[in-house]
Chains A and B, each alone.
Chain A
Amino acid sequence: MALQDLCHLQEVFPDTDCSPFGTRTGYYDDGFPASSRSPLFNFFIPAAEFLQESPLQFGQVSSAFTSQDHLLSSLSWPPGLPQDSPQPVPLPFPMSHGTTTLAFLFQGGVLAAADTRSSCSGLVACPSSQKVLPIHSHLVGTTSGTSADCALWKRILARELRLYQLRHGRRLSTGGAAKLMSHMLHPFKGSELCVAATLCGWDASGPSLFYVCSDGTRLQGALFSVGSGSPYAYSILDQGVRWDLTLQEATSIAREAVYRATHRDAWSGNCVDVFHVSSAGWRRRGREDLREEYYRERDRQGGEDLREEYYRERDRRGGGGPEGGVLQREGQTRGGGPETE
């Protein structure tokens, strides 16, 4: 498909008049910005060949959909809505959406971080999955939701961005990529597809960060955290993130936020990946095991359970009565007799 596009394309320059397209109605030309006759959702949907049937039908794709004829008929298909909505096919196993991913802007570009645990029905399916996926040299996406869906849609997005770059001679901006992804996901709204991604990129206007979700949300912002562990990460991020952080400080805040979230959230854990996107492209920091971080923190705090020490100290000071655990003391006091002080 890509090769056909290249061979047939003479109108690669974006400021060419679009009238030649009028003669090529049968052909599958995608959203050139000058194309005024295409309504909003005739925008190119790369998975269109599968959408003759409702997206709610899981995995039922006819092999006849690879020929040109079906591409033509898919153009006239009213976009945006599944034609028929049968009762949804039950999923083969319950999907889980547990993760902690975060991304924020700072003076050095965009920082993205995520844990590496893939969970499924209460067990850890993979302790070393990669949730921050590079899309092209200056764009990185964090994934949250169903891992399979995220991996697929990231690849589709990468393909479309590459095609755009080949056709137009320039890269699509981060905002454009976010819009493209959002429109590609729109036909699947209402189905079990779950993709919540943040796109972190550096384009001609500098660093930018977008949140795109399969329920249709598309937001631009300076800080996002997505996933079941995100509430736990937010407090660390809110109090630490500033524009003028150095790369070192930003990395340590991102790592700590993921670490705290993995400490509290059952579906996040194992290791942390940190990516940094700057004008020179994305760079990846080595994956770190958070178990080490836990032990390092315990050692920093004195190497023993501080709570035990505190209670021991307090019991020693509180005076009276035989020594013993806290529970024993409670039994005594409820008995009521005033103790000699």
Chain B
Amino acid sequence: MEKHCTNSQVKGVSTGTTILAATFNGGVVICSDSRASMGGEYVSSKTINKVIQVHDRIFCCMAGSLADAQVVIKAAKYNLSFHSVQMENPPLVIAAASVLKELCYHNKDELQAGFITAGWDKKKGPQVYVVSLGGMLVPQLVTIGGSGSTYIYGYVDAKYKPNMSRDECLQFATNALALAMGRDNVSGGVAHLVVVTETGVEHVVVPGNKLPKFHDE
């Protein structure tokens, strides 16, 4: 097949993953697969959770080098809790994203990790931000990342509508993850979905055998 498909391996340290975050009416859904692989040949873990909580209503997904991402998120968590104590208010989602962005931008030579930050805050409601590899910060309504994301660009473009209901958005996210896991060899396992709204946080785990099945299964 074409050479572009193996780009994620050429970069060297990709986790191989599929991550997605989408806003709906009243909240966000942030989700990921659960496979950690080494070199595209060995699955080192089938059940890691790539959705990390950095504050009560703010979550991050990591893509790229797992080691870099864990370190950056740990530093971000510390910064953010300090910031929220200073502000005497829960931090804004953009504050969390900015903290990650600062770390990624000022250490861009050493790090190779990108993030999706999503959450809910009182000021702007549900938001999704993408911090890419070099440190660019972009707000978006829906975003996908990781090696498996190439296989679902078409689906996300076609099926995502802003202001869906919670259940529609959950179904959309689960379908997208299932499609990506079906085509990408370094994404798989279970689907971790986190729904963040004003009232709380809900973690939904969809095991492999309960994922939606498509034509070839």
Are A310 and B176 neighbours in the complex by a CB distance under 8 Å? no
Complex: how many Å from CA A233 to CA B157? 11
Check if A231 sits within 8 Å of B151, measured CB to CB.
yes
B87 A235 Cβ-Cβ under 8 A: no
Q: Residue on A with the closest CB to B4?
A: A228
B31 within 8 A of A: no
B158 contacts A260, C-beta separation under 8 Å: yes
Interface string of B189-216 (1 = CB under 8 A from A): 0000000000000000000000000111
Number of interface residues of B (CB under 8 A): 37
Whether the Cβ atoms of B157 and A263 lie closer than 8 Å is yes
B125 with A317: CB separation less than 8 A:
yes
Proximity string of chain B (107-122) to chain A, C-beta cutoff 8 Å, 1 when within and 0 when not: 0000000000000001
CB-CB nearest in chain A for B122: A341
A75-112 CB mask vs B (1 if < 8 Å, else 0) is 00000000000000000000001000000000000000
B125 touches A260 (CB 8 A): no
Chain A residue with Cβ nearest B154 = A260
Q: Pick from A223, A306, A326, A338: contact of B162, CB below 8 A.
A: A306
Do A318 and B2 contact each other (CB < 8 Å), given the known contacts A238-B215, A310-B163, A333-B95? no
B5 neighbours in A (Cβ, 8 Å): 231
Question: Is B153's CB under 8 angstroms from A232's CB?
Answer: yes
**B141-A330 in contact (CB<8A):** no
Main secondary structure of the interface of A (DSSP, over half): helix
Contact (A232, B150) CB under 8 Å given A196-B1, A239-B175, A318-B123 = yes
CB interface residues, B 1-49, toward A, < 8 Å: 1-2, 4-5
CB pair B94–A333 under 8 Å, yes or no, is yes
Q: Once the chains are docked, how many angstroms separate the CA of A220 from the CA of B155?
A: 25
Q: A227-B2, A310-B141 are in contact. Are A239 and B95 (CB under 8 A)?
A: no
- Is A235 within 8 A of B179, CB to CB? yes
The answer to whether A226 and B162 touch across the interface, beta carbons within 8 angstroms, is no
Contact of B157 among A97, A264, A315, A338 (CB under 8 A): A264
Contacts of B95 in A (CB 8 A): 333-334
Contact residues in A for B153 (Cβ distance below 8 Å): 231-232, 235, 260, 264
CB distance from B79 to the nearest CB of A (A): 13
Q: How many interface residues does chain A have, given as a range?
A: 35 or more
- CB proximity of A305 to chain B, nearest CB, Å: 11
**Do A233 and B88 have beta carbons less than 8 Å apart?**
no
Interface of B is mostly: helix
- Does any Cβ of A come within 8 Å of B139's Cβ? yes
Interface string of A313-332 (1 = CB under 8 A from B): 01101111000001001100
| Interface membership of A234, Cβ < 8 A | yes
Q: How far is the CA of A15 from the CA of B124 in the complex (A)?
A: 79
A135 within 8 A of B: no
A residues less than 8 Å from B175 (CB atoms): 239
Write the nearest CB–CB distance from A272 to chain B, whole angstroms. Answer: 14
Report yes or no: A333 in contact with B141, Cβ–Cβ below 8 A. Answer: no
> Are the C-beta atoms of B154 and A336 separated by less than 8 Å?
no
Cβ-defined contact, A239 with B4, below 8 A: no
Q: A231-B153, A314-B124, A330-B94 are in contact. Are A236 and B183 (CB under 8 A)?
A: no
List residues of chain B with CB within 8 A of the CB of A235: 151-156, 176, 179-180, 183
A256 at the interface (CB under 8 A from B): yes
* Bound-complex Cα distance A114 to B25 (A): 37
List A residues at the B interface (Cβ < 8 Å).
Answer: 97, 196, 213, 222-223, 226-228, 230-236, 238-243, 256-257, 260-261, 263-264, 306-307, 310, 314-315, 317-320, 326, 329-330, 333-334, 336, 338-339, 341
Contact residues of B with A, CB < 8 Å?
A: 1-2, 4-5, 87-89, 92, 94-95, 98, 122-125, 139, 141, 150-158, 162-163, 175-176, 179-180, 182-183, 214-216
